[in-house]
């Protein structure tokens, strides 16, 4: 017999469901309110993500018949930091698109008003779920599922690193998966490209990565420049979480607790690693930690494949200089049966001028109109036939003399937009519990950090 408390909980749950349904209906009605050319070709289906900066809807492209995710990011020009982050992510999405293990951006819609727009509309491939949600479902990943997912993760990372791109915030929420076990890396809002003259590199890497997946050199700041090894550590933490069925390996409450949990597994760092710490306080703290040997991983993961644990140990090397690279990880015997699939597209470093706008923003030399032009230049990559119209001078606020040159460049790039992906679906077992109702949240630029913490995305 239903108690009063159970009835009250059921009523409250029903009220929340109705409120959410009403909110979703309102959000769908207002989704294209700021206007975008081509919006008439998308039939919105349902809201799949919402945050402080925008909203994401699943939609049907009525021209191609394809289901996609359309992300509306609002108020992109309200602050230099917001504009920089969104434009940076748009660039990474385009530049990294050739690899099949990176989320594919299909289009950025042309704003309805080129002179006053303050929203951006991105069209992305849609994936049913992310790794965080998958690990919290009833679906139990087989050993082959785990191996194939990790193989794809390292393929995507290898491509990024060959382009000298640091993801800087790898975590299960940022790894999208579909029913066929295909994997995509997403969320490049904190990513950075490294160039030979990247003098600020030590500065900007101190403030990245969700704590549980943060490399020790980011927790206790080193004197040395950071490397792509920070992503390798994060991948190792993700691997460990998958092997445990969803239990994070290092769920630290703060940076000191995080570091203590790490050293319980890796052992206390060697003297040469301690000496490279920038902070004297950090040195004292680490020196006072109890001397511990490395904990055998087979004690933590007694049922795991020994080859998986051998790879994991190399991924979680405390010293970043001794941490295995993505390429070497892909050559590890653990992945022998998938090596015939190859590495996929191999990248090259991006032209530094792609990110020249950041220096202007940082030195306060870019006006809102100039930043708006930078967005239009980026949008023009998806609409090469409209480049002259998109980049025409706007009421004398700025001039743009090389539209013809950019048009030729965009014609060359058009083939990249239609890159065919050839990842084979392995293993053949489908993840049967994934459905369209478990769609990933696509929160990369739609939620503030405070909201992400509230939702469990930031720890």
Instruction: Give the 3-state DSSP-derived string for the chain, with helices as H, strands as E and coil as C.
Output: CCCHHHHHHHHHHHHHHHHHHHHHHHHHHHCCCCCEECHHHEEEEEEEEEECCEEEEEEEECCCCEEEEEEEECCCCCCHHHHHHHHHHHHHHHHCCCCCCECCEEEECEECCCCCCCCEEEEEECCCEEHHHHHCCCCCCCHHHHHHHHHHHHHHHHHHHHCCEECCCCCHHHEEECCCCCEEECCCCCCEECCCCCCCHHHHHHHCCCHHHCCHHHHCCECCCCCCHHHHHHHHHHHHHHHCCCCCCCCCCCHHHHHHHHHHHHCCCCHHHHHCECCHHHHHHHHCCCCCCCCCHHHHCCCCCHHHHHHHHHHCCCCHHHCCCHHHHHCCHHHHHHHHHCCCCCCCCCCHHHHHHHHHHHCCCCCHHHHHHHHHHHHHCCCHHHHHHHCCCCCCCCCCCCHHHHHHHHHHHHHHHCCCCCCCCCCCCCCCCCCHHHCCCCCCCCCCHHHHHHHCCCC
User: Annotated catalytic residue: which of 107, 119, 169, 182?
Assistant: 169
169 is catalytic: yes
Whether residue 71 is annotated as binding a ligand: the answer is yes
Catalytic residue numbers, as ranges: 169
């Amino acid at each position: 017999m239903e108690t009063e408390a159970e009835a009250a909980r059921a009523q409250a749950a029903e009220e929340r469901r109705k409120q959410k349904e009403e909110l979703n209906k309102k959000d769908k009605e207002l989704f294209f309110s700021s206007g975008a050319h081509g919006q008439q070709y998308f039939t919105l289906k349902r809201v799949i993500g919402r945050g402080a900066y925008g909203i994401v809807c699943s939609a049907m492209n009525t021209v191609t018949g394809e289901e996609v995710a359309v992300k509306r990011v609002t108020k992109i020009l309200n602050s230099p930091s917001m504009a920089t982050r969104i434009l940076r992510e748009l660039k990474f999405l385009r530049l990294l698109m050739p690899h099949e293990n990176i989320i594919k951006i299909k289009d950025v819609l042309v704003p309805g008003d080129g002179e006053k727009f303050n929203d951006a509309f991105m069209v992305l491939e849609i994936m049913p779920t992310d790794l965080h949600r998958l690990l919290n479902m009833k679906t139990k990943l087989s050993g082959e599922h785990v191996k194939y997912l990790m193989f794809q993760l390292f393929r995507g990372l290898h491509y990024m690193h060959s382009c000298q791109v640091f993801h800087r915030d790898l975590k299960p929420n940022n790894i999208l998966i579909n029913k066929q076990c295909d994997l995509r890396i997403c969320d490049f809002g904190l990513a950075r490209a490294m160039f030979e003259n990247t003098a600020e590199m030590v500065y900007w890497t101190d403030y990245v990565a969700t704590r549980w997946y943060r490399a020790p050199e980011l927790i206790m700041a080193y004197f040395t420049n950071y490397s792509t090894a920070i992503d390798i550590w994060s991948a190792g933490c993700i691997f460990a979480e998958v092997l445990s069925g969803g239990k994070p390996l290092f769920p630290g409450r703060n940076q000191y607790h995080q570091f203590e949990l790490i050293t319980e597994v890796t052992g206390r760092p060697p003297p040469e690693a301690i000496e490279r710490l920038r902070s004297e306080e950090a040195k004292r703290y680490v020196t006072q930690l109890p001397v511990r040997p490395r904990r055998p991983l087979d004690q933590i993961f007694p049922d795991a494949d020994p080859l998986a644990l051998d790879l994991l140990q190399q991924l979680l090397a405390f010293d970043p200089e001794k941490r295995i690279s993505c390429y070497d990880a892909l050559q590890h015997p653990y992945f022998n049966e998938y090596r015939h699939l190859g590495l996929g597209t191999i990248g090259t470093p991006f032209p530094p001028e792609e990110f020249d706008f950041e220096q202007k923003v940082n030195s306060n030399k870019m006006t809102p109109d100039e930043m708006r032009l930078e967005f239009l230049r980026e949008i023009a990559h998806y609409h090469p036939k409209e480049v002259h119209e998109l980049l025409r001078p706007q009421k004398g606020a700025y001039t743009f003399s090389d539209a013809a040159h950019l048009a030729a460049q965009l014609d060359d790039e058009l083939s990249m937009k239609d890159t065919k992906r050839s990842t084979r679906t392995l293993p053949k077992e489908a993840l049967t519990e994934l459905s369209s109702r478990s769609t990933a949240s696509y929160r990369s630029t739609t939620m503030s950090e405070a909201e992400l913490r509230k939702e469990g995305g930031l720890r």
